[in-house]
Amino acid sequence: MAKSKTVFFCKECGHESIKWLGQCPACKQWDTFVEEPVIKTASKTNIRVKESTPTKISEVTTSEDTRILTGLHELDRVLGGGIVVGSLVLVGGDPGIGKSTLLLQMSKNLADINRKLLYISGEESLKQIKMRAERIGEFENDMLLLSETNLDTIEATIKSIQPEVVIIDSIQTMFKEEISSAPGSVSQVRETTATLMQIAKGLGISIFIVGHVTKEGVVAGPRVLEHMVDTVLYFEGENQASYRILRAVKNRFGSTNEIGVFEMRSSGLVEVSNPSEYMLQGKPEGESGSVVTCCMEGTRPILVEVQALVCQTNFNMPRRTAAGTDYNRVNLLMAVLEKRLGIQLAGCDAYVNVAGGIKIMEPALDLSIIMSILSSYKNKALDSRTIVFGEVGLTGEIRAINMAEQRVIEATKMGYTECILPQVNKDNIIAKGIKLIGVRNIRELLSYI
């Protein structure tokens, strides 16, 4: 009996090898090769190749109707203004985070405006989908449901029904019969996604696929999966917190910096139109170590609270902890404080936290981290109506940041009366209703604590 041939694939980049390798020669990752059977393809002999006629770019027309509004403003924002016709969107996230709930709510909104939609589930029966749909609300119009995992059957159904939007939940449960490996393997995920991409581009159908994530937080399967799709959305959030953040890490039709904020309730996901007010709920008044800053997520300014706790250490080596921001950046800023201001932090434990669980990596957070550390170290509170933002250099200078005027406007809307910002930005901003305090270096901060 002939032995079936197998090859090895890299789970990160899809590189193919006839033997197992410890390190992938393409992406340089270790221990990423998995064994998969060879996919048998039909012979290309005696097949006529049909010529394709190129089209001039001036003859291609675009209009506003190439996007479909989902009825969820936060989702439309992340997608870049709505669903692009013929696009392939990958939605990833931790189990139970709300991926299926979000797409089901989107399906309800599209069905209510008479959009033809097909919801395909490989994990739930039709009754289970109906139970979740009843929790969200009553559907005004019918939505087509299909419980199937065979992609050949799904492809035939899509071509016969011709829906406008298709949802696949999830890609790890789909399989093609000509591939002998199990559903969820590298070969199955790659080939099923390629087939769905051909359907989306060929028929002009927008397809959403749900992808499971690994313990590292990335979509399970080969990394080439993210390269094949048009948009990659990640649904983030803590299990203990009620809010959820939808973030685009890849978008061919819009910005990758936009985020959408939702709150999980018993009736489903509810949009948070004012994330600044939501993030500042429960902020303490008159406590040391608490500073409010403004970060930019795409074009959206969001006010968040930065907290610091500095106390004498009981160990030979002080402990440093950072939650919601870069740990190494916090250590760097503390070294700047010790060198430029002569503050002895070597004998202190320092804990920095961005309240609300949101993660911020932009440099504009530097000044608020330094202010919160100074406030906690001296045990003196900053005025509760003051907002702080700016980038700090290694020499202690405070450098300019981008979109400073939008941050000031957002602070004014939220009722803040003072804003500490880089002097360079202050010279270019004319603000009403808020006092702007420009600072050039961290030495000037001591008078405000």
Among residues 162, 161, 152, 96, the alpha carbon closest in space to that of 123 is found at 96
CA 396 to each of CA 182, 309, 335, 341, 370: distance values in angstroms, whole numbers, following the listed order:
57, 21, 10, 9, 11
97 among annotated binding-site residues: yes
CB distance 197 to 169 below 8 Å: no
93 is in an annotated binding site: yes
Residue type, 195: T
136 is in an annotated binding site: no
What gap in Å lies between CA 317 and CA 151, rounded to an integer?
57
Other residues' Cβ atoms within 10 Å of the Cβ of residue 201: 14
Phi, psi (5° rounding) for residue 176? -115, 135
**Annotated binding-site residue? 95:** yes
Q: Is 94 annotated as a binding residue?
A: yes
CB atoms within 10 A of CB 260: 26
Edge-to-edge order in the sheet of strand 88-93: 144-147, 117-121, 165-169, 206-212, 88-93, 231-236, 243-251, 259-265, 268-271
- Do the annotations mark residue 363 as ligand-binding? no
Q: Which of 48, 21, 18, 46 is nearest to 32 (CA)?
A: 21
- Of 304, 308, 373, 364, nearest to 336 by C-alpha is 373
> What tokens appear for 237 in the block?
């959030």
Question: What is the crossing angle of helices 151-161 and 186-203, to 10°?
Answer: 10
Q: Binding site for ATP: which residues?
A: 93-100
Q: Binding site: which residues?
A: 93-100
